[in-house]
Amino acid sequence: MKTISASFSAAKARRWFNCGLRISDFGLGNPQSAIRNPKCGRLAGFVLSLVFGVAASANPFIPAAPARAPLLLTGGQVFTVSGPVLPKADILIVDGRIAQIAPAIKPAGGTEIVDVSGRRVYPGLIAAQTQLGLWEIGMLRQTLDVAEIGQINPNARTQTAINPDSELIPVTRANGILTALAVPFSRAASGSRTNLIAGTSTLLRLDGWTSEDITLRASIAMHVYWPAQRLNRDGRLTKSLAAQQKDADAVVRTLDDAFVSAANYARAKAAGTTRDTDLRWEAMLPLLRGEQRVFVHADELKQIRGALAFARKHQLKITIAGGLDAWRVAEDLKAADVPVIVGGIDRLPLRRDDEVEAAYANPARLHAAGVRFCIASSLENPGDDGNQRNLAYHAARAAAHGLPPEMALRAITLSAAELLGVGAELGSIEVGKRATLIVTDGDPLEIPTQVQMAFIDGGKIDLRSRHTQLYEKYQERLKRLKEQRPGVLPATQ
């Protein structure tokens, strides 16, 4: 932005504003008026070409074709997750689903055979908390569509904003993540008010041509961002503790009023006493009927306790997302049968007097208390979606701090599928489930392990990404430099 704006003279700046264009959003304020305004000249064309040039960029990788013939993976070590590890087994895939698992399967004619001897087969990893397809480049507002303006937006649907050509999708699936939940964020822009009810999330299969093509479930849960409850005791602040508490209580009342209004609307619709349709409250009917879960984003102790009380009051099925303090209320979560999507392991403690490993040991403590949970990445920094590929290493960190390794693997596969309501289709290698699998040369929780093949619904996925393209590009440069200066540069693999 600084590079572009520095090249404009004062006269050009005046022409920019006369055209109805805003520097802050590169012309998205009113591009049509800019086109019609003869004063704009070539400036509008420059801005619009810049905007649509950014919007038109897409990853170049062709989605997998639907599987037309049966596929047989032979001789691999199969980690079913839901059962014992099979030292050597075959997996038969028919019509995108697992048809048979056995030590030796005799294929029918026309079956494609892939030898995976000496390698491991796992279910595809599941990222239960991302903004893939919603967030591309943090400094370009045109590539961000993570939230709506306002505090109460239950009718906002992430599916309508998904970009199936995101460059981050191939990067993510290259490390074995084949399914991801696209979650609405807590605020539309820096400095804007928090979305208390942000809308519904969409479950994605990370391969396809269109947003409809990659949608596995259009609506998984309603997302509520619980207001902050901690008070700032810094004496330099002008607001007293009482005033801060009053503000926090007012925000919670706003959230409570929204659910009360939705419940009143539901009763009026059922009784036939209203003909008006309110899309906000219509979107909340499934959760009021108990057909849809509410994912409450809450990290702090007070937030989690407040969410539990709120769920009891409104008779909601909730899941805690984030849950950095969840281990502190593990007994309450267990008693209420409230699961937790642990939002990131590599996080700092909330308090100065917390033990250093509080976040690392959180999953192990929840497991010991019998609380259902899965492991996901954090939403603290939404621009960090390029690192969703590191999901397995969050699980590895939890395993290093007390979580049994088999449970760490389950936390990013079957447990994640169960908490998202798709445990009957994904998360483990079982007959009848979707053939969404990865083939690796080692344990996916280990950093050196490479994902060598991936299949989504039986279709073989292209594992190239922008990262691999740049790697190949600069490997070629290094090769040419070595040819020009032999013996000067060290040998590399």
Same domain, 130 and 51: no
Residue 261 has pLDDT above 50, yes or no: yes
| Any domain includes 241 | yes
* pLDDT tens column, 310-336: 999 999 999 999 999 999 999 999 999
> Residue 36: inside a domain, yes or no?
yes
* Average pLDDT value for the chain: 85
Q: Place 300 in a pLDDT band, splitting at 50, 70 and 90.
A: very high
As a whole number of Å, the CA-based R_g of the chain is 25
The first and second tokens of residue 49, run together, are 């070409």
Is 62 part of a structural domain of the chain? no
Domain that holds residue 37: 1-56
**274: confidence class by pLDDT, cuts 50, 70, 90:** confident
Read off the pLDDT band of 74 (50, 70, 90): very high
Confidence label for 158 from pLDDT (cuts 50, 70 and 90): very high
Q: Examine residue 80 and state whether it is found in any structural domain, yes or no.
A: no
How many other CB atoms sit within 10 Å of the CB of residue 149?
11
Residue 28 located in a structural domain: yes
> Does the pLDDT value for residue 146 go beyond 70?
yes
How far CA 94 is from CA of 70, 78, 90, 113, 295, in Å, comes to 5, 18, 13, 12, 35
Q: How high is the pLDDT of residue 50?
A: 45
Which stretch of 44-53, 130-139, 245-254 has the lowest confidence by average pLDDT? 44-53
Given 426, 447, 482, which residue is the final one in a domain? 426
CA-CA distance, 378 to 385, in Å (whole number)? 9
pLDDT tens for 49-66 read 444 444 445 778 888 888
Half-sphere exposure of 112 (CA within 13 A, CB side): 12
* pLDDT beyond 80 at 46: no
Among the residue ranges 179-183, 199-203, 439-443, 489-493, the one predicted with the least confidence is 489-493
Boundary residue ending a domain (12, 32, 56) = 56
* pLDDT value for 192: 55
Give the total residue count for the chain: 493
Domain shared by 51 and 152, yes or no: no
pLDDT value at residue 13: 39
161 and 43 together in one domain: no
Q: Is residue 459 assigned to a domain?
A: no
Q: What is the dihedral of CA 194, 195, 197, 199, to 10 degrees?
A: -150
- Identify whether residues 49 and 141 lie together within a single domain: no
CB proximity list for 212: less than 8 A, separation 6 or greater: none
Shared domain for 151 and 12, answered yes or no, is no
Contacts with 298 (C-beta within 8 Å, 6 or more apart), sequence order: 226, 304, 306, 307, 320, 321, 322, 323
- Specify the pLDDT at position 493: 53
Condensed to tens digits (0 to 9), the pLDDT of residues 398-450 reads 999 999 999 999 999 999 999 999 999 999 999 999 999 999 999 999 999 99
Residues 358, 221 within the same domain:
yes
202 pLDDT higher than 50: yes
pLDDT on residue 138: 75
Residue 348 belongs to a domain: yes
- Pairing state of beta strands 177-182 and 202-205? antiparallel
The predicted structure's pLDDT at residue 39: 44
The CATH number covering residue 299 comes to 3.20.20.140
- At which of 20, 36, 56 does a domain end? 56
Report pTM.
0.85
Is residue 419 a part of any domain in this protein?
Answer: yes
Q: Give the range among 141-155, 204-218, 299-313, 366-380 with minimum mean pLDDT.
A: 141-155
Number of domains into which the chain is organized: 2
